[in-house]
Structure 1
C-alpha cells in the first residue's frame, strides 16, 4: 500500500469573493440509442459530478487522457452542450438553464478558443469579416468603427494588418490560431475556454502562442480554463491544475502541489509520462499501469481508477472516494491520499 503523509483536512471549496465561475455536481450524459425506434439503452457519462471553482484572473489547467471529459466541460460551461444535471454559476448567478435569448448577453463575456484553428474558421470569409461578424452581431462595433477594431485585434495577436484581406487557408497553423484568439477577443470577454489551443501546433509555435496568451491575460485581465492533455503547456501557463479521469476530477491544487507532491496515483502516472530534462532523475520511481481506460458508458464501481491502479485495495473497489482536501486546499479523490 502506498503511504502518504497525514495532513489536517479542510473544506475543498471555501467561499471566496473572487470566484468567477463555479460548477456544482455538473453532469453531461449522452444517450446510447439502439434499434429501429432509437430507444435509449444507456448513457455515456462524459462528465459525471464535477465541482470546480475558477477564480477571477487565474488560469485553471484541466488535464487528462483523451476522452476523459475535459472538452465537454468547456463546451457545457459555454452552453454549447446542455448539461444533464448540476449547476453552472457565473458571477454568482445560476446560468444552467438560461434560454438562448438570456444567454446572448453573456456570450460577450464568455468565449472559446478551439483546438483546430483551421476548421473553426470560415473558409469562405476573409479575416476582416471573420473578426467583424461577432462585433456587429452583438453591437460591440458599428460599420464605421469595425475596421479600426479589426486593426486593433490584429495588432494584439501579432498579425500584420495587411493580411486582413486573406482567407484562412493562406495562413500557417500558428497564424490561424492567432486569428482564432483575435476572434475570441473581439467581444472583450472576461472568461475564455482554451480547448487544447496549442496541441495542433509545432513545439516552437506552441511557445509563441502560450506567451501570447499569458501577455493578453496580463494586459486584459482575462480568466482562462486551459484544457490540455500535455503537462508541459499546463505547467507553463496555469495557476492551478485539475486532473480528470473518466468524467471525474481526481485531484486539484496549485501547479507546485501537482508537480512536487502529487497525491493521486493517476496524477503520478501522468507525471511519469512528462519528460524531465535532468539526467539525474532518469532513474526516478515510475508507476506502471496496465489495461485500457474503462468505457464511460459503464464505469467501474468504487474508485474509477482502481482497475488500473497498482495500489488498489478492496475499499477502492467498493467505495467511491470523495474529493477531500488538506489544510492548504490541495484535494485528491483517493482513500489513501492523506
Structure 2
C-alpha cells in the first residue's frame, strides 16, 4: 500500500493552533518571527491569543494553517521513517504540499500564501459575494443548479469535497438563488461560509494574474514526489508546471474527490493529514471508507501513526 501526505485548506484554523510546536522547536518559532518581521504582522500573537475574528481573515488564516501543517510534517519526519508516495492539499493546502515535496521553501510558501490571501480579497473589488456548502446532493446536480441560478448572478460549483458535499461560490444574488434551488432539490443543508471573497471563480481573475507575477520572484524546484493537483487531479513533479497550476487554481474548481480517487487508483491505501483539526480526514473517509486515514496535529500524534504502520 502506498502513502499520501495531505494538507488542509482554509477553515481548519483555531486560536491556540501550533502552540506545542512553537514551544518545543525554536527553529519553527523563528520561521513565524521572520514572517511577522517581513510582513509587519503579528501572526504569532494572533495564532496564540486571537481574537478569532482576526485569525479568520484570509491573509492570516492561510499562513497560519500552512505553518501549523509544516510544523506537524517536520516533527513527524524527525521521529518516523514513513515518507509519502504522493502529496496533495486542498486549495491553499496545495502550496503546503509543495513544501512537503521540496518544490518550495517554507519561508517562500509562507510569503506566497499571505500574498495569495491578499490578492484573493482585493481582486473582488468590494462587490457583494457569497460562498456556501451544499450537503446531500451529488456534484452533477449542484453544477446544474448553478447553471440555472446564473440567471440571477454568477455562481459556480467550486469545491468538490465529497460525493455529497460541494461548495458553491459567486455573486451574492447567484449564491442565494442556487441555495434556494438546492433546498428545493432536496439538499440536506446549505451552510453559508465566512470567507473573504468569491474564491475559485472568474470573479477574482485578477488574483490569478497577480499571483503569477508574484511567483516569478520565487524559486520553484522540480520534485521527486508527485503532487496531485487540485486543477486536474493529475500527478506532477515539475516546478514550472506547479507554478502555472497554482495561478490557475485560484479561479478553478478544487477537484478534491478526483484527487483522492486518483491517488487510491494509483495504489494509495494510507493517508496522513498534517495540520489543524481533521477536515480532510473526514472528507477522505466519505470518499472511500476502505482507506486508512491518520492525522498529525500535535507533537504526540506521530507515535500512534508510526505504531499503526508498524502493526
TM-score range, shorter chain: under 0.3
Select the structure that is richer in strand.
Answer: 1
Q: Structure 1-normalised TM-score? A: 0.26
Q: Structure 2-normalised TM-score? A: 0.28
Select the structure that is richer in helix.
Answer: 2
